[in-house]
């Protein structure tokens, strides 16, 4: 099983670090009410999982625990962090770290949707490429000035103020299967911001094979085979020590 997915710029990523439990963990958490236990997952157990999910008996789904290492732009992370119940996170701090910041720059800029207060259309704005190039320019200037401040002995905790919200941050995150199912259901919805949808799909593709019965029962949205193929192309091959190469957005 390949445990790391990259964004198209080959910088942003979601890496599955650890998994505690499986479908049988959920089954046995539920069956303890009757002082019973299953040793191998059966069709009867899968029916129980589906029943629990359908009727919102969620506590058994809190027993499996998953840990990820995630690298995403700050403006995406601040939305991601709105999921708080049952989540623990530790993030890279630029009070201590002064290595070269990595910046996310989109490939295109989408049009505002006038029919909704938030969100966007799929169409790109006119002269999107020109605006993207300007974004890249201004972000590069911000990073250059940040490095200049550090060279002139400005403390890192203040120098970081100049860096844009599109700067990548990185964090380790731990939560239950129930927590991740709720996050994914909300963030792969078409109403969610496009950039956060991509990260939610990565979580989906890394967990669906770890908990095949439970994850299928918990996820309300259908993710098409085309989307699965798109994301699986960006797996990191740990076994052979190779990384699939993609066009990178470099400042």
| Residue 187 annotated to the active site | yes
Indicate the helix (H) or strand (E) that contains 66: strand 65-73
* Helix, strand, coil fractions of the chain, as percent rounded to 5: 40, 20, 40
- Do 131 and 242 contact (CB within 8 A), yes or no? no
Measured CA to CA, the distance from residue 47 to residue 72 in angstroms comes to 37
Q: How far is CA 112 from CA 37, 115, 135, 153, in A?
A: 54, 9, 17, 41
Say what the alpha-carbon torsion angle 111, 134, 233, 236 is, to the nearest 10 degrees.
Answer: -140
Catalytic hit among 187, 201, 234, 248: 187
Residue among 130, 134, 140, 188 nearest 164 (CA)? 140
Could you write out the DSSP letters of every residue in 91-116? Answer: E--TTT--SPP-B---SS-EEE-TTS
How far apart are the C-alpha atoms of 207 and 217, rounded to whole Å? Answer: 13
The CA-atom distances, in angstroms, between 145 and each of 94, 108, 121, 154, 162 are: 15, 26, 34, 11, 8
The catalytic residues are 187
């Amino acid at each position: 099983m390949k445990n790391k997915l990259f964004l198209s710029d080959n910088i942003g990523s979601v890496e599955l670090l650890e998994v505690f439990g499986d479908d049988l963990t959920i089954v046995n958490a539920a069956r303890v009410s009757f002082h019973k236990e299953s040793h191998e997952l059966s069709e009867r157990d899968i029916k129980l999982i589906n029943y629990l999910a359908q009727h919102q008996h969620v506590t058994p789904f809190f027993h499996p625990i998953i840990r990820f290492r995630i690298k995403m732009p700050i403006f995406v992370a601040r939305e991601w962090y709105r999921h708080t119940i049952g989540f623990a996170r530790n993030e890279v701090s630029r009070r201590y770290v002064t290595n070269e910041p990595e910046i996310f720059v989109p490939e295109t800029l989408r049009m505002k949707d006038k029919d909704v207060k938030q969100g966007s259309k799929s169409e790109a704005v006119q002269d999107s490429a020109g605006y993207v190039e300007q974004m890249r320019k201004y972000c590069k200037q911000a990073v250059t000035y940040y490095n200049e401040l550090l060279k002139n002995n400005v403390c890192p905790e203040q120098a970081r103020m100049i860096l844009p919200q599109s700067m990548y941050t990185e964090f380790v995150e731990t939560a239950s299967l129930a927590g991740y199912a709720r996050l994914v259901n909300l963030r792969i919805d078409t109403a969610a911001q496009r950039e956060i949808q991509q990260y939610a799909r990565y979580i989906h593709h890394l967990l669906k094979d770890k908990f095949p019965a439970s994850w299928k029962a918990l996820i309300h949205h259908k993710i098409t085979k085309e989307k699965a193929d798109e994301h699986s192309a960006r797996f990191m091959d740990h076994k052979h020590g190779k990384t699939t190469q993609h066009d990178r957005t470099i400042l």
